[in-house]
Structure 1
Amino acid sequence: MRHKNIFASFLCLLISISIFSQQEDNNTKIKEIQEVILKGQKPYIEQTANKISVNVSQSPTASTSNVYDILLQSPSVIELNGNLAFRSKSVSVLIDGKLTNLSGEDLKAMLSSMQGTTIDKIEILPNPSSKYDATGGSVINIKLLKNKKKGINGTLTTNTQIAQHLSHLPGATLNFKNKSLNIYSGYNYENSKQNYTSNSDQVLSPISQLFQNEYGTTFKNNHNYRLGADYDINKNNTIGFLFKGMNNRTTLSGSNDIELLNSSDLSLSRLKNNSKSKIFSPAANIYYKRVIDSLQRTMMVNLDYFEYGKNVDEDFVTQYFSNNISDVLLRDYASGTNKVYSAAVDFEYPSALGNFEFGLKTISTKSDNNILWENLSNGFWINDPSKSNQFIYNENIYAGYITYDKTLGDNWQVTLGLRGEQTYSRGNLIGGDQNDRNYFNLFPNVNIQYLKNLNNVFNINYRKSIQRFGFDVVNPFIRYQSEYAYFQGNPNIRPQINHSFDFSYTYRQRLTIGASETHSIDALGPLFTKNGETTVSTYTNFRSSDFFYIYASWNTTLFRIWTNNLVAGTGGYKFNTSTEDYISVNNNNSWAYLIQNNNSFKLKNNWAVQLDLTYQSALASGIFKQKGYFNSNVGVSKQLLDNKLSLKLAVSDIFNTMETRYSVDYNNILLNQTRKKETRFLTIGLTYKFGGGNSKSKESNDTFDDLEKRMKTEQ
């Protein structure tokens, strides 16, 4: 409660100062902002009616964090049920415009292994056009740093994290560019050690209760690498390639103290878990771009390959301290590979009738997972066929889209889009059932924008989208957690269909207010069921969900040194948690709010300071009641040696308040759980830039260009 009062007082102070500062002359302020942008000093957060940009490279705190944590510090982005969400809507995450092809814990592991020093900016598209895959209600595009200077240049970076353990995160880039050739490369390494805890209590029956207290340490050795090139054959034709990947080795050592209490007995046990996992994830892209004519009609061809391989070895030892039960030893070997091939051709076709975009795309995915469970019996490891299996999942998606964009008069902009996707899938449990699916969906998109003038923009949008399940969700494997809990996939799960409506008003590219409504059919979410005293967690399709959300975002510059971004949102969360097998009597509903405040200070002598504050209240999510949380980060940076050397010092989660807390009261499941991993770090960062050369081209300013292109005159 004390943290909440401090946070509220601080926000009131910021708002008071901001309102007072707004009394300055409006035209003078716009001129000052444009002059700052022309000098290349971009603010940390920029916003327009259709896009939010987070300039990570400008931040002393974000550039010392991993990419997943940076996303959670971005405006209106939170985590729900282990997935990212923006303004209560599901998101698809892209890297340099390419789908990550991952979700849930796998996506989190990948983004957590990427360091902020490799990121240029994060673009959030609240209402993406039909050009983008229909997956997710909104799009988050992570744009990696790319060479812009001529000649040979690069960077050397090292971050050291200090917490209960010491972690090292060095990295480097090396680039070359001349008139027609641009070669860029990068490498980052992570050697980290972090502690975690998890506590839960569960009512199993009127006379029995289960308490679990888990604690342990994870060790990570991550390698991220990339090598790419762009070559201008001539002024109208460009080819290029990018090869990147991740090698991740993680070791986990943990213990879980378990108490089973009933009216007549107390059973005490300890589960020890030692596991090793290896992730190998290469990806490659080849592209060709052609400018067809003087009207800048273009064709883009992309060929992509993505692989995600994971091998896990786990050893479980359950020690009993009562009832004279002997120790139980289990182990498993799990291997899985996801391979994704895609090809796409996109056209941009401006004409007198309007601007057209159209294209075709095909995605072929194969997921092959095998797991072997063994029990130790009389000194021999014996295969457990009830848990061991092999599951192969194939999915093919064929998509086509067309988008029409037209300016009507001096003030109206209309964008119409339609995307069609045909999906074929087959899940094959070796020695078991086979599940085939074949479905077609149309995904319309309508966006109407009214530009009264450069300072007043109204926007209304409708978008239909799909949220597909992760490949780990459809896999019916059993993942052992303890003798009282395990996870099992659901091969019969269906994708979720979303219908989203959004209305917004943007004033002077600083203030955005709006409201959105998202109705989802076959809403995806975790589910708990009981098998005796054992709790089985899985994923299922709930009947529906509805989110109504009101939001506001405010950017302002104070005293010419302080850039303040304030985000607030509130809305109703409603879940109809009935499934095909269970009719829920009570829906899971809540009203929730979010407040975020990002503060950047540009001081004299090349000093910079950043302070980020976030409070998310309790909310409903599927069958869960998720508790609220508060997060705070602060950082300071200093530029030396003519801006070639950068020193950064940052503290994440200052008050050590970040943790996941939730409760469940559903279908005779009564559960409370708290999960906490290390989140408070003191990070010391050092970046050195070498080489020279300048880029003759200047980056356009997204904040103003999108509007100015659509305005014939400023009113």
Structure 2
Amino acid sequence: MKLYVLLPFAMLVTLSTPTKAQSIRGKIGGLIRDTQNRALSGATVILQERQDSTTHQAGLSDADGKFAFKSLPKGDYLLRCSYVGFQPYKSGLLSITETQPVLQLPVIILQTSTPKTLSEVVVTAKKPLVEQKIDRLIVNVDAMLTAAGSNALDVLAKSPGVMVNTNDDISLNGKRNVLVLIDDRPTYMSAQDLAAYLRSLPGGLLDKLELISNPPARYDAAGGAIINIVLKKNRATGFNGSLNLGYNQGVYGRSNNSLLLNYRTKKFNIFTNSSYSRDRNFSEETYSRYFYSDAKSLQSTILQTSRSSYTSNGWNGRIGMDYFASPKITIGILFTGSTRPKSDRLDYTSNQYTELMQLDSVSRGYINGLYQSKNTGINVNLSHKFDNRGKLLTANIDYLNFQSSTNQFSPIDTYRPDGQLAGTQERFFAIPSTVRIYAGKVDFTQPLAGKSEFSAGLKSSYVMTDTESNWLNQTGDGPVPDYGKSNHFQYTESINAAYVNLKKEWSRWGIQTGLRLENTQSKGHQLANPTTVDSTFHRSYSWLFPSLYLSYKVDKRGDNTLALSYSKRIRRPGYQQLNPFLFFRDRYSYSGGNPNLIPGYGQAIDLRYTFKQYVGVTLSYSWDKDGIDPITRVVGDQFITRPQNFYQGQSLGIIPNISFSPTSWWTVNISAVLLAIRNRGQTDGVTIDQQSNLHEVETVNQFQLSKSWSAELTGFFPGNQFFAQTKSSSIYNISAGLQKTILQGQGTLRLTVNDIFYSLVMNSQTVALNHISAFYTRQGDTRRVGFSFMYRFGKEANARKRNTVGSAEEEKQRTN
């Protein structure tokens, strides 16, 4: 039996071994906030012994306002808190006993001493842009000035280690196939659909991003890494809310607006957010394709120029309620919905030349498209806290429904060199699609003696997809179906999973080990038509996914820490990647699916060093098998791209993140991803054996100009990229922002400029094509000036928080 299978059980035996009775080592911890529910970092906290009022321990609250006093003997204590500009706080009697060795205090709210100090409090309590955690990197979106008025995809692209390529694929620290969660719940979309959804999600709705390179066993095993997008929540007593309005102008105007509302009493909490975005963009593209003979002499050339533009309106809504049945039991329900109608127009001209570069033919065409996407979902959840030590049971049931439709009209006219019309072709495309997802999960956490914890969980999901791709050719008798290219594809998949996870902490060492088992059953069905026979395929497989996390505090305070982590992950094909449809792009470009895809898997090991919130450096090594990449084949003069289990890859990376303040008013954050990659693969006549060095550097400079004025200057510098058949040249992006707080800190005005030098011009080459050279350029509406306004209203006070993790952890990520 492999070693990793034994690790959780060995930990369990170790943790359950009887030990001698020890004297009580108690703990008192808590959280300090202001009346606006903001964390107070650096508050002075003093713990006194009641019997003689002498100071037993003293310390400061951390960046999240947290504090903790450990190794406390049995006895009675008093707690005092103080912070500049706030009234001091003194607790009642706090007792550490044998039956109650741990006290987790309610949130301590410090009252301002005078109203005039409010703006100072806002500046002092400001969260840093990036927080260094041992197991993840946290990006506080409100601290990113240039995120104002933009959308969630733009915010992601500006985050440390995150890259969004020309195909809208998202990677983290060089790891592709990233699983994107929203509030710990899956997004269930393909890369393209996910990108469209994130473009419709205003940046003003985002609270923070959690970037997790090596996720633990409680997460689904899918994806190379995890990005969790945490939306803003306000669960304070009474009625509260915030309004975000944003507009930015390039060649076209865009708008991103959101409204958050919350009403809380002792028995229930009702919360909702709604948003509207209007997205409009254009893309100017050129394709240059050169065809050579076996003797390497030029045979023909195709040069194409195109311009596309689209307009999309996105409405997103969430409404939910938590019912506090008792102080320890909460029952919740959440409804989600979104709709994104979109229209686009693509115009292109293709010139085909002979071997002597003489014009052979000219094709002119366009595509008019109308699209609709409607998503609805419901989540029912339960949380039962058994005691104050952390014994917890959570349960979730999810149902999601995705409806989309595509309707396109595409005429093409072909001309001879003398300008005479040689032929006309008109096509219609109608592609309706439905995805239904049912999922349920249960998670249980049990604290054990000696700073140990056991957790386990079960999850089951069932997915059904139904997609029709209808091609129709216009004839003199009207539209006629092209059954050779039309299809009707149905796919079902069930995944059943179970995991165990064990944690143990000592004064300096910490270990977490987990094992996840996932069983997958799937079936694909290609329905027959007059020219296509009925066919099916089945997949059934079970895999174990171990994870290990080991940490060490180099010093007693834990300012310097080392962490070693390992995980194994699976890369399942997207639902529609298995669909053998063919999608029309233009006369010379098509894309499609591949029913022969199998899951690939990857393994990664990271060694991370952190120093407080200032330095984080990760040394990463990963290897992948049966990785899925789009592979382009040439049939005649047409480029046809389909996903393939193509590459076996290895990468070695150094990922630093540094934050420092040269002066009291200037803060700098620098992050980078430096990778050495080796990818090899062979499929369908395409062979790749590439070694490349990739890098990406991001800088953020933040300036506190006064109590109410601040500014930001950001730089994004990705180098040359080389993955599979796509080789891209380096680009860069310089953006800036200016912020003014108004209305006694409750309002914020921001002015932003993105891509100041209009430098986001994509240049790429498609390689490993037999006797063909192909080049591509693209430029869009990236230089933009934006304005945004945010206003917070309502009374904020202490709030009990819940972190509801939906049961659908991964499936929505793979819809198409």
- TM-score strictly above 0.5: yes
Among residues 358, 362, 366, which one is paired with 2:464 in the alignment? 366
Cα deviations by residue, 1:456-503 (Å, 9 ceiling, x for unpaired): 111111110011222231111111112222111111111220011111
CA contact (8 A) 2:151 2:256 kept: no
Q: Kindly provide the CA deviation profile for residues 23-73 of structure 1, in whole angstroms up to 9, marking residues without a partner as x.
A: xxxxx9xx9994896763211111122111111123321132111111111
Give the drift of 1:699: 12
Q: How many residues align?
A: 670
Measure, in 2, the Cα distance between the counterparts of 1:40 and 1:180.
30
For the 8 Å contact 2:148–2:787, the answer to whether it is kept is: no
Distance 2:524 2:235 in 1: 46
From 369, 376, 384, give the equivalent of 1:275: 369
> Is 1:573–1:621's contact at 8 Å kept on the other side of the alignment?
no
Tell me the residue number matched to 1:290.
384
Q: In the TM superposition, what is the alpha-carbon distance from 1:583 to its structure 2 partner?
A: 6.3
**Residue type of the partner of 1:286?**
V
| Cα gap change, 1:36 to 1:484, in 2 (>3 Å) | closer
Q: Does 1:691 align with 2:789?
A: no
Aligned equivalent of 1:398: 496
Partner of 2:143: 58
When residues 659 and 624 of structure 1 are mapped into structure 2, their CA distance, relative to the original with a 3 A threshold, is same
Secondary structure of the equivalent of 2:198?
A: helix
| Residue 360 (structure 2) aligns with | 266
Paired residues of 2:312 and 2:343 also in contact (CA < 8 A): yes
Shift of the alpha carbon at 1:324? 3.4
In structure 2, what is the equivalent of residue 415 of structure 1?
Answer: 512
Distance 1:37 1:566, change over 3 A: farther
Q: SS state of the match for residue 629, structure 1?
A: coil
Q: Of the candidates 398, 415, 426, which is equivalent to residue 329 of structure 1? A: 426
- The DSSP-based 3-state class of the residue aligned with 1:673 is strand
Aligned to 1:467: 571
Q: Which residue of 2 aligns with 1:4?
A: none
* 1:154 Cα deviation after fit: 1.8
Aligned partner of 1:706 in structure 2 is none
Match of 2:759 in 1: 657
In structure 2, the residue matched to 1:175 is 262
Residue equivalent to 2:302: 210
Indicate yes or no: 2:337 matched with 1:245. yes
1:681 to 784, 787, 810: 784
Further displaced range: 287-296 or 329-338: 287-296
Question: Is 1:307–2:401 an aligned residue pair?
Answer: yes
Deviation at 1:135, TM superposition (A): 0.9
Q: Which amino acid aligns with 2:315?
A: H
Deviation, structure 1 residue 441? 0.7
- Residues 93 and 99, structure 1, Cα contact 8 Å, conserved in 2: yes
Give the 3-state SS of the residue equivalent to 2:483 in structure 1.
coil
Report the residue type matching 2:323 in the other structure. Y
TM-score (norm: length of structure 2)? 0.79
Indicate conservation of the 8 Å contact 1:365/1:395, yes or no: yes
1:78 aligns with 163
Task: Output the amino acid matched with 2:232.
Answer: L
How far has the Cα of 1:377 moved from its partner? 0.9
| 1:109 CA drift (Å) | 1.0
| C-alpha distance in 1 between matches for 2:752 and 2:326 | 45
* Aligned equivalent of 1:197: 284
> Which of 502, 507, 512 is equivalent to 2:606?
502
What's the secondary structure of 2:340's corresponding residue?
A: strand
| Paired residues of 1:284 and 1:304 also in contact (CA < 8 A) | yes
Q: Deviations over 1:387-441 (max 9, x none)?
A: 111000111110110111112x421111111001001111111013211100111
Q: What is the distance in 2 between the residues matched to 1:109 and 1:696?
A: 34
Return the match for 1:540 from 639, 644, 659: 644
| Greater mean alpha carbon deviation, residues 668-677 or residues 117-126 | 668-677
Give 1:118's match in structure 2, choosing from 186, 205, 217.
205
Structure 2: 5+ residue stretches without partners: 1-43, 45-58, 67-123, 293-297, 529-533, 804-816
Q: 8 Å contact 2:235–2:801 — kept in the other structure?
A: no
Q: Percent identity?
A: 27
SS for the counterpart of 1:148 is coil
Q: Which consecutive segments of 4 or more residues in structure 1 shift more than 4 A?
A: 31-39, 696-700
Q: Does 1:443 align with 2:540?
A: no
Judge conservation of contact 1:274–1:316 (CA < 8 Å) in 2. Answer: yes
Q: How big is the shift at 1:133?
A: 0.5
CA contact (8 A) 1:588 1:623 kept: no
Who is 1:9 aligned against?
Answer: none
Q: Would the aligned equivalents of 2:202 and 2:257 in 1 still touch at CA under 8 Å?
A: no
Cα pair 2:686 2:769 within 8 Å, conserved: no
Q: Does the CA contact (< 8 Å) of 1:638 and 1:647 recur in 2?
A: yes
Aligned with 1:342 (options 425, 439, 446): 439
Corresponding residue for 1:102?
Answer: 189
Question: C-alpha separation between the residues in 1 aligned to 2:512 and 2:637?
Answer: 55
Does residue 158 of structure 1 match 2:250?
A: no
1:696 to 1:534, Cα distance in 2 relative to 1, 3 A: closer
1:424 is the counterpart of 2:516? no
Q: TM-score, normalised by structure 1?
A: 0.90
1:433 alignment partner in structure 2 = 535
Larger radius of gyration: 2
* Counterpart contact for 1:44–1:600, Cα < 8 Å: no
Deviation string, structure 1 residues 104-128 (Cα, Å, up to 9, x no partner): 1011111111111111111111221
- The answer to whether the aligner puts 1:550 opposite 2:654 as a matched pair is yes
Cα deviation digits, residues 615-649 of structure 1 (max 9, x gap): 01102111211222212221111111112221111
Confirm or deny that 1:381 pairs with 2:479: yes
Cα distance in 2 for residues equivalent to 1:662 and 1:426:
37
- Tell me if 1:640 matches 2:726: no
Q: Which amino acid aligns with 1:388?
A: S
- Report if the CA contact (8 A) 2:655-2:672 is conserved: yes
C-alpha distance in 1, partners of 2:306/2:576? 24
CA positional deviation for 1:698 = 9.9
Residue in structure 1 matched with residue 314 of structure 2 by the alignment: 222
- Would you say 1:491 and 2:576 are equivalent positions? no
How far did 1:89 drift?
A: 1.0
Give me the whole-angstrom Cα distance separating, in 2, the residues matched to 1:135 and 1:231.
32
Which residue number corresponds to residue 316 of structure 1? 410
Higher mean C-alpha deviation, range 419-428 or range 324-333: 324-333
Stretch of structure 1 that moved more, 220-229 or 623-632: 623-632
Q: Indicate the residue corresponding to 1:141 in structure 2.
A: 228
Out of 590-599 and 147-156, give the one that drifted further: 147-156
Q: 1:121 to 1:424 in 2, by over 3 A?
A: same
**Residue 568 of structure 1: CA displacement?**
2.0
Check conservation: 1:424, 1:439, Cα contact below 8 A: yes
Q: Which runs of 5+ in 1 are unaligned?
A: 1-27, 701-715
- Asked whether the 8 Å contact 1:577–1:588 carries over to 2, the reply is no
Q: In structure 2, do the counterparts of structure 1 residues 148 and 293 end up closer, same or farther at CA, with 3 Å as the change threshold?
A: closer
- Contact 2:160–2:672 (CA under 8 A) maintained in structure 1: no
Aligned 8 A contact 1:573 1:620 in 2: no
**Distance of aligned partners of 1:246 and 1:173 in 2 relative to their CA distance in 1, 3 Å threshold:** same
Rounded to whole Å, the distance in 2 between the matches of 1:469 and 1:33 is: 46
For 2:706 and 2:801, how far apart are their aligned partners in 1?
Answer: 25
Change (3 A) 1:632 1:656: same
Structure 2 counterpart of 1:482, which letter?
D
Give the C-alpha shift of residue 282 in structure 1: 1.4
Quote how far apart the aligned CAs of 1:350 are.
0.8
Say which SS state the counterpart of residue 82 (structure 1) adopts: coil
Aligned residue among 108, 114, 125 for 1:40: 125
3-state secondary structure, aligned to 1:501: strand
The answer to whether the 8 A contact 1:104-1:470 is kept is no
Match of 1:256 among 345, 348, 358: 348
1:570 aligns with 2:570: no
**2:797 aligns to what SS in structure 1?**
coil
